[in-house]
């Protein structure tokens, strides 16, 4: 089947909800993916921040194969050694104070879980979230998504107050004894990669403590390791009450995780939350292998040092207006439409993402990339601009 035939086949039978690269990816190895004609692409998009340890890492492949031979799935109605081992590992790497995890299958579900827990724990309804944020497509997570274009098609949603991201005063003016939680993306990625100033995140924690509201960090893109710290909140020495992750946590196998502070975890009892597939054995084996590779190959440190290098050298390219981000979550704003830059890079064998900012492209690569990959990207970008 050639690419034209493939496009018409897939588009005929699938809802047309995704704008796709004109590309078929059939194989991946490390930081590269390959199309059906064998053309190689440097993957600086990481399948949207999912391929955290690179494509088909041998240890991840083996963990999935070994687990598949033993047991592919059994539900949360029974105990499971691999689920137990992963839960322990996750709580051990989490910020101090986190006591337990809940497994689901996606970022949206991890966020739904966090919102439910916050509302039940506080007995309050109101959520404060940030303008231009993105938290997922289910009704609950969409309700706290500040980016209007995703929300406006589906009304009514749950009540949520939106305040400008990075502006502590607005939160101070909005938060009250009615607030169940303040929800924030550690770094606003889809918006165009925006990070708040030093002091903001600690300020949010303090305001939440004063009003008895919970602080929820959406780390769906940032944990594990992407910002050069295992959790982005480590960068600001904040321990949120609830932290969510998904994307890269199992190296490409679906998994969502909601991390819950000890004192909140203790209040949660049988039947309050559930997910058939959450904590399935293949996903747990994949996640455990992913975290072990991240630790053994020092990928958090790599994300930090390659990320620092990238911020510096990309910002030296003439016509780059701004480079934003932390570690290997990077937004590059130029004076050209993001889609145009993306298309030109694709023709040079480099995959990058776009964003909701019309002139910002995003790099969300596997955490294994090296400085030479950034050099290659930067040289091509320079020529394009």
Site of interaction with ligand PLP (CB under 6 A): 106-108, 111, 134-136, 185, 189-190, 218, 220-221, 246
* CB nearer to ligand PLP: pick between 146 and 203: 146
- Strands of the sheet with 320-326, listed across from one edge: 320-326, 329-334, 360-363
What whole-number distance in Å separates Cα of residue 87 and Cα of residue 90?
Answer: 5
Q: Looking at beta carbons, which residue is closest to ligand PLP?
A: 107
* CB nearer to ligand PLP: pick between 136 and 228: 136
What whole-number distance in Å separates Cα of residue 82 and Cα of residue 289?
Answer: 11
* CB nearer to ligand PLP: pick between 58 and 339: 339
Q: String of b and e for 32-51 (b: at least 16 CB within 10 Å)?
A: bbbeeeeeebbbbbbbebbb
Query: Left, alpha or beta for 49 (phi > 0: left; psi -120 to 50: alpha)?
Result: left
Beta carbon of residue 185, minimum distance to ligand PLP (angstroms, whole number): 5
* CB nearer to ligand PLP: pick between 122 and 258: 258
Beta carbon of residue 216, minimum distance to ligand PLP (angstroms, whole number): 11
Beta carbon of residue 257, minimum distance to ligand PLP (angstroms, whole number): 11
* CB nearer to ligand PLP: pick between 245 and 378: 245
* CB nearer to ligand PLP: pick between 45 and 381: 45
In degrees, to the nearest 5, what angle opens at C-alpha 81 toward C-alphas 79 and 85? 120
The residue with tokens 């946590």 is 249
Beta carbon of residue 172, minimum distance to ligand PLP (angstroms, whole number): 24
Beta carbon of residue 162, minimum distance to ligand PLP (angstroms, whole number): 16
- What Cα–Cα distance (Å) separates residue 228 from each residue in 148, 179, 189, 218, 363? 30, 32, 15, 16, 14
* CB nearer to ligand PLP: pick between 134 and 231: 134
| 290 burial type by CB count under 10 A (0-12 exposed, 13-18 middle, 19+ buried) | buried
State the Rg of the chain over Cα: 21
Beta carbon of residue 339, minimum distance to ligand PLP (angstroms, whole number): 18
Beta carbon of residue 202, minimum distance to ligand PLP (angstroms, whole number): 20
- Nearest residue to 181 via CA among 242, 238, 140, 237: 242
379 forms beta bridges with none
* CB nearer to ligand PLP: pick between 111 and 235: 111
Beta carbon of residue 247, minimum distance to ligand PLP (angstroms, whole number): 6
What whole-number distance in Å separates Cα of residue 227 and Cα of residue 255?
Answer: 20
């Amino acid at each position: 089947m050639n690419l034209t035939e493939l496009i018409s086949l897939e588009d005929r039978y699938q809802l047309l909800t995704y704008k796709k690269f004109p590309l078929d990816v059939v194989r991946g190895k490390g930081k590269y993916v390959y199309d059906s004609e064998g053309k190689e692409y440097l993957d600086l998009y990481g399948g949207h921040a999912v391929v955290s340890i690179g494509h088909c890492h041998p240890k991840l492949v083996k963990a999935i194969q070994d687990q598949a031979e033993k047991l592919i799935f059994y539900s949360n109605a029974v105990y499971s050694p691999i689920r137990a081992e992963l839960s322990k590992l996750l709580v051990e790497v989490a910020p101090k104070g986190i006591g337990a995890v809940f497994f689901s299958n996606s970022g949206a579900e991890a966020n739904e879980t966090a919102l439910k827990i916050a509302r039940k724990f506080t007995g309050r309804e109101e959520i404060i979230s940030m303008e231009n944020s993105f938290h997922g497509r289910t009704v609950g997570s969409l309700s706290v998504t500040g980016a209007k274009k995703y929300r406006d098609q589906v009304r009514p949603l749950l009540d949520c107050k939106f305040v400008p991201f990075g502006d502590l005063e607005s939160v101070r003016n909005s938060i009250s004894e009615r607030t169940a939680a303040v929800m924030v993306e550690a770094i606003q990625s889809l918006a165009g990669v925006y990070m708040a100033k030093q002091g903001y995140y600690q300020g949010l924690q303090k305001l939440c403590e004063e009003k008895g509201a919970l602080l929820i960090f959406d780390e769906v893109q940032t944990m594990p390791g992407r910002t050069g710290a295992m959790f982005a909140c480590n960068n600001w020495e904040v321990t949120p009450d609830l932290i969510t992750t998904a994307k890269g946590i199992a190296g490409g196998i679906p998994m969502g995780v909601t991390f819950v502070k000890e004192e909140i975890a203790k209040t949660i009892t049988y039947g309050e939350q559930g997910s058939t597939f959450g904590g399935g054995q293949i996903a747990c084996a994949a996640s455990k292998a992913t975290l072990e590779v991240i630790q053994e190959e020092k990928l958090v440190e790599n994300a930090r040092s390659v990320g620092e290098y990238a911020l510096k050298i990309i910002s030296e390219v003439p016509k780059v207006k701004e480079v934003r981000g932390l570690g290997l979550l990077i937004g590059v704003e130029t004076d050209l439409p993001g889609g145009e830059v993306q298309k030109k890079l694709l023709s040079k064998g480099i995959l990058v993402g776009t964003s909701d900012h019309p002139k910002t492209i995003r790099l969300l690569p596997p955490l294994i990339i090296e400085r030479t990959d950034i050099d290659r990207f930067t040289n091509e970008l320079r020529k394009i601009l």
